[in-house]
Structure 1
């Protein structure tokens, strides 16, 4: 059953709406429905189109947010989803007011990913690349915090 603003009951579970900030969390609810999910990429196809966020925690999702998971569920983790997030965001310029990112277009959208010699998504590359990006950011922060004055 669709969860509308009027039906939301305050709670501790994140409600994910088609927002471009706060990781898509627009409320905290105690409600539950069949959109309850976790370890998923939430991709907006209304509101702030193409914006997307990784949700490792349990959350309820708005009808305007498509939940995206890898077909190989064993590969779904923080790093592979963050890589996919960036690849989806690279398509944002294509979608504007006159050309909406709807469910049908989402299904047809081609997303470029690294592949293995067998032609399968190269999850190891995605994980390694994103871990490297994360470490670079951590080092930048540490250098900033502990720089000599």
Structure 2
């Protein structure tokens, strides 16, 4: 099992990890056109998805990247594998060297910026370019993306295994369980 404390770690500028850093574009609520494309803003819930819109003009679309909230829920960081439109309240962090798993690993580290910033001290473009994060490194001192990927895959497998064990113990006979309250061995189907 891979462990975080077994690795060497080093500091890296965000701009060195993510060669493509770009803030989304302002789009007032009144200008939203109803649609199916996720609109990512600085919300702390739903992966930052604030609405679904159909705008194509004067917007910035991204895919396969992280978003970092600049304002509002400052520091919230989410991974997006799907195409979305970004508001000016988030910055896209993209690198062709990363995949789903290494993005998820790095997202948890980038999100630590929320401890440094607040509603009154937002993350602007100048501050992003000065920010550093700490990542595990390989023997040559470069970010160990393979380790990050394998680490997240292991954790994902552990969660899946726990879920399988839980459902195997708690779901019987088509989703029902015997309720002590109902007594007399009557089957109760959950939920109703």
Q: TM-score, normalised by structure 1?
A: 0.90
Look up the match of 2:98.
76
1:35-88 Cα offsets, whole Å, 9 max, x none, are 111001011011101101111111000001000012xx1x22110110110111
1:89 equivalent in alignment to 2:114: no
**Deviation larger for 88-97 or 25-34:** 88-97
**Residue of structure 1 in register with 2:138 after alignment:** 116
Partner of 1:105: 127
State the 1:136 CA deviation: 1.2
Q: Which has the larger radius of gyration?
A: 2
* CA displacement 1:94-127 (0-9 Å, x = unmatched): 2234433332222211100111222221110010
Q: Which residue is equivalent to 1:3?
A: 27
For structure 1, which runs of at least 5 residues remain unmatched after alignment? Answer: none
Contact 1:39 1:76 in 2 (8 A): no
- State the aligned residue count: 146
Whether the 8 Å contact between 1:46 and 1:101 is mirrored in structure 2 is yes
SS of the counterpart of 1:91?
helix
Structure with larger RCO (C-alpha < 8 A, sep 6+): 2
- Give the match for residue 158 of structure 2: 136
Partners of 1:38 and 1:55 within 8 A in 2: yes
Contact 1:54 1:81 in 2 (8 A): yes
Aligned to 1:25: 49
Instruction: Say which is worse superposed, 98-107 or 135-144, in terms of deviation.
Output: 98-107
**Aligned residue for 1:60?**
85
Mapped partners of 2:111, 2:169: distance in 1: 33
The match for 1:44 is 69
Pick the structure with more strand per residue.
2
Q: CA RMSD in A?
A: 1.7
* 2:4 paired residue number: none
- For residues 62 and 122 of structure 2, what CA distance do their matches in structure 1 show? 25
TM-score w.r.t. the length of structure 2 is 0.71
Unmatched tracts of structure 2, length 5 or more: 1-24, 171-176, 178-192
